[in-house]
């Protein structure tokens, strides 16, 4: 990736500047040239919403640490940086949840006990290229308890040349014994202006489209990038918004039928994407009720937002946003998806005279 970046850190990362700066300080040599960085930890945990940039940041950290030329930012040109860019650096490992066939599956897979055994064997051998080996373990909230327990000792005291970087949706979804062994960085949503800038600079998105995507992204650059690369990205959003509007005007039976179809679908990625969209929608309705429509995310739907804002009570919308937030939390953990989805649908504000 070319580094014409928003931040002054020169990392291939947009936003999260405070984390980048702390990591830069961690990898900077403190003694004479060539000495080991005294502040470098052995285990880092990056938490935050889906597609907010946890993996991008962890990879950039790995690249900076492995880079041959720089002690603060990856140069992007050395052999090590090129190997990272091509995804085949011999001292970098990406460990992802696997499904029962052993295929990577970030939605429904698990980090399995045999993967932990592999990591433990792997950390004990020396790096091939440079001074470090970096293990990026993705989606630690999907770790089987045996995986997590088996790794405790490694996380506590890995060999000197090993750095572990973990990502997870939030720290509360992990065993406290894991969290306490890591330096934790809670990534917050990236500013919409930074998302728009990234889309224009790095992905050549035109200004108007970048603005819309940035507002819809709720601070998740990864989501915005994905939308503009999918051929039907924004069409899918339009279809989902139309479904939401239909549900607002639907009766109890129609809503229960929709909950049933969602529950049977078992497509978590779509489900959580839909919940994120619904959250932006109801937050926008609340903004419209407060007379702040200009700050909304769904800038292309202002008249429908205003219509719903006028027809519903402030309290009802605020309560539903709380419900959405709570149910989304449950859905990450609960086994009773159907019950959670019933509540989600039945408590949605109702506009019975709604036209579609």
Binding site for Zn ion (CB under 5 A): 67, 69, 75, 78, 81
Minimum gap (Å) between residue 11 Cβ and Zn ion: 12
| Residue number, 60 or 151, with CB nearest to Zn ion | 60
CB of 165 to Zn ion, least distance (A): 18
CA distance 337 to 121: 38
Q: Closest approach of Cβ 102 to Zn ion, in Å?
A: 33
Shortest approach of Zn ion to residue 97 CB, angstroms?
30
Of the pair 78, 117, the CB lying nearest Zn ion is at 78
Instruction: Report the distance separating Cα 125 and Cα 122, nearest Å.
Output: 6
Angle at 218 (CA atoms; ends 195, 137), nearest 5 degrees: 80
Are β-strands 92-95 and 133-137 bridged in parallel, bridged antiparallel, or unpaired?
parallel
Please identify, using beta-carbon distances, which residue of 75 and 184 lies nearer to Zn ion: 75
Please, which residue, 52 or 62, has the CB nearer to Zn ion?
62
Which phi-psi region, left, alpha or beta, contains residue 257 (left: φ > 0; alpha: ψ -120 to 50)?
A: alpha
CA-to-CA separations, 1 to 68, 165, 245, in angstroms, rounded: 17, 21, 40
CB of 36 vs Zn ion, minimal distance in Å? 18
CB nearer to Zn ion: pick between 78 and 234: 78
- Distance in Å, CB of 64 to Zn ion, minimum: 8
Kind plus residue range of the DSSP H or E element containing 43? strand 43-47
Q: Which residue has the tokens 């950290």?
A: 61
Helix, strand, coil percent values for the chain (each to nearest 5): 55, 10, 35
Give the helix/strand (H/E) hosting 164.
strand 162-168
Q: How far is the CB of 73 from Zn ion (least distance, A)?
A: 9
Q: How far apart are CA 8 and CA 225, in angstroms?
A: 22
CB closer to Zn ion, 69 vs 265: 69
Distance in angstroms (rounded) separating the CA atoms of residues 154 and 171: 19
Handedness of CA 314, 315, 316, 322 (dihedral sign): positive
Residue with Cβ nearer Zn ion (11 or 272): 11
């Amino acid at each position: 990736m070319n580094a014409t970046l928003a931040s002054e850190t020169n990392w291939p990362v947009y936003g999260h500047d405070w984390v980048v700066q702390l990591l830069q300080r961690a990898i900077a040599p403190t003694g004479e040239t060539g000495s080991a960085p005294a502040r470098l930890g052995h285990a880092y945990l990056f938490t935050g919403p889906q597609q907010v940039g946890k993996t991008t940041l962890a990879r950039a950290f790995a690249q900076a640490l492995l880079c041959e030329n720089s002690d603060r930012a990856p140069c992007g040109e050395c052999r090590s940086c090129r190997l990272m860019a091509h995804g085949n650096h011999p001292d970098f490992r990406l460990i992802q949840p696997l499904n029962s066939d052993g295929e990577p599956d970030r939605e429904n897979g698990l980090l399995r006990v045999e993967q932990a055994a592999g990591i433990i064997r792997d950390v004990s051998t020396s790096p091939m290229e440079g001074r470090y080996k970096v293990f990026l373990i993705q989606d630690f909230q999907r770790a089987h308890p045996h995986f997590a327990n088996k790794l405790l000792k490694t996380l506590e005291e890995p060999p000197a040349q090993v750095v572990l970087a973990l990502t997870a949706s939030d720290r509360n979804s992990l065993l406290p014994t894991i969290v306490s062994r890591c330096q934790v960085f809670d990534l917050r949503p990236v500013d919409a202006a930074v998302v728009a800038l990234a889309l224009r600079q790095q992905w050549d998105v035109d200004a108007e489209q970048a603005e819309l995507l940035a507002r819809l992204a709720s601070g998740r650059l990864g989501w915005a990038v994905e939308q503009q690369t999918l051929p039907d990205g924004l069409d899918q959003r339009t279809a989902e918004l139309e479904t939401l509007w239909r549900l607002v005007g639907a009766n109890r039976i129609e809503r229960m039928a929709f909950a049933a179809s969602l529950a049977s679908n078992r497509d978590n990625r779509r489900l959580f994407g839909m919940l994120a969209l619904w959250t932006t929608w109801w937050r926008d309705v609340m903004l419209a009720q407060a007379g702040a429509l200009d700050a909304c995310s769904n800038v292309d739907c202002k008249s429908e937002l205003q219509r719903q804002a006028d027809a519903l009570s402030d309290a009802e919308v605020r309560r539903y946003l709380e419900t959405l937030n709570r149910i989304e939390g449950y859905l990450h953990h609960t086994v009773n998806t159907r019950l959670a989805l019933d509540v989600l649908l039945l408590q949605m504000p109702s506009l019975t005279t709604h036209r579609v």
